[in-house]
Amino acid sequence: FCSYNIGMWLGLPLHRSSEEFIAANQSKFKAIKCLIKVYTQEKKYPCPFYFTEELPYNIPVVLGQAGFFDHHRVCFDWKKKEIEVFKK
């Protein structure tokens, strides 16, 4: 999920109809789906992103299982302040 403002800044067609989702805290929210190309390790992958005005301002992007984590293994190294992304 991604902030609606980021989608607007990218010039994406966000005039489409929205879908309803349920957050981890069981609250409902709406988001608009756009297919975006994500680039990792010099490769590009089509990834569905959902843009919403209902994400907290201080959390503008939330990566989900479908479209990213189902295609990649991600390793977070806190001490080195590195994130490694590997194709599954």
Contact 20, 32 (CB under 8 A): no
Q: What is the pTM of this model?
A: 0.63
> 81: helix, coil or strand?
coil
Interval 32-88: pLDDT, tens: 998 888 777 777 877 788 898 887 777 666 666 666 677 778 888 888 888 787 777
